[in-house]
Structure 1
Amino acid sequence: KTELEEVIARIDKQSREMFTETFEKVRANFQKIFPDLFGGGRADLVLTEDEDVLEAGVEIVASPPGKKLHRIGLLSGGEQTMTAVGLLFSLYQVKPSPFCVLDELDAPLDDANIERYVQKLKEFLVHSQFIIITHSKRTIAAADVLYGVTMQERGVSRIVSVKFSPAQTESQNDLASETKHVAEKKDNEEVFLAK
């Protein structure tokens, strides 16, 4: 029995150390990324009071520019989304993966926030690919590859793909606008893969 208790104690100790180390890295990243996404302000991750870090909860507090520090639940929908994006990117910096799928993450964002979201996303393209499902023209315009899903007849979907070269950058906005118009007309979604 003592051997088993020693093993459990050792595992608990390692778990606490790993959690604390990872939490501090994510927290530091979050404190840097949040002001980039909001054009100022500050945010933090706070462990709820508990003697054991493995039993404690994590609270997200954020203060967009010109606002007081609040729990995430008191922020507007767009602010909550941008805060969540900041946390997602903070976690991603600690443990990146070869690709990431984001499904309409930009839906509640206005144009200014979408622009900051896309700029931050581009920083991660060095290490990963992102598959993004979106209706946003601004997000579509930032894509390297665009896959449009359209329904030509009831129950039959068709995929249209376009790969952009650096020379096509100016025409991307036009294509994104046209694709958005077609999608709105047909009530479909676009998907792009940025690399």
Structure 2
Amino acid sequence: KDLVLSGLEIKVKLGPLWKDTLDELSGGQRSLAGLSLVLALLTYNPAPLYILDEVDAALDMSHTQNIGLVIKKNFRNAQFIIVSLKDGMFSNANVLFTTKFMNGISNVVRAENKKKD
């Protein structure tokens, strides 16, 4: 069997229950499992810059907050550009930029993070 082309199989434990395939998971659970795997790989072979586009879209607020906190605490020497529509991610940001489309023009503005600790 060609290991390079065989793919990746993971088992996920949610509370006391093991899930054998990703088909058994909800969209949010799949996102959380995939994002957890990616973040684990990034700790093994870090890069200076990461770009994530709405990786929290299927997550509820508590999981979004937790992922933001994991990124903030475990990747202090890296820069993340994260596109998100959720406050749970914003509250963990060092710097925020907002975008607005008005009168046919896109505007990007640096905003203060009032929830920054």
TM-score range, shorter-chain basis?
A: 0.7 to 0.9
Number of residue equivalences: 116
1:139 aligned partner, one-letter code: M
The Cα of 1:66 is off from its aligned counterpart by 3.1
- Which has the higher Rg, Structure 1 or Structure 2? 1
Amino acid at match of 1:71: T
Aligned to 1:157: 106
Equivalent of 1:76 in 26, 29, 34: 26
Alignment of 1:174-185 (within 5 A): none
Residue 144 (structure 1) shift: 0.9
Q: Which runs of 5+ in 2 are unaligned?
A: none
Which residue does the alignment assign to 2:87? Answer: 137
Cα deviations by residue, 1:37-87 (Å, 9 ceiling, x for unpaired): xxxxxxxxxxxxx3x533533212212113233212210111000000111
**Are residues 1:102 and 2:45 paired?**
no
Once residues 4 and 96 of structure 2 are traced to their aligned partners in structure 1, the CA distance between those partners, rounded to angstroms, is: 43
For the residue of structure 2 that corresponds to 1:59, the secondary structure is coil
Q: TM-score, normalised by structure 2?
A: 0.87
Q: Compute the TM-score of the two structures, normalised by the length of structure 1.
A: 0.54
* Identity score, percent: 26
Aligned-pair RMSD on alpha carbons? 1.8
- Structure 1: gaps spanning 5 or more residues: 1-49, 165-170, 174-195
Runs of 4+ in 1 over 3 A off after TM superposition: 52-56
Match of 1:135, SS state, is coil
The structure carrying a bigger helix percent of its residues is 1
1:145-171 CA-to-partner distances (Å, cap 9, x unmatched) read: 111011221x2111110255xxxxxx3
Q: Corresponding residue for 1:172?
A: 115
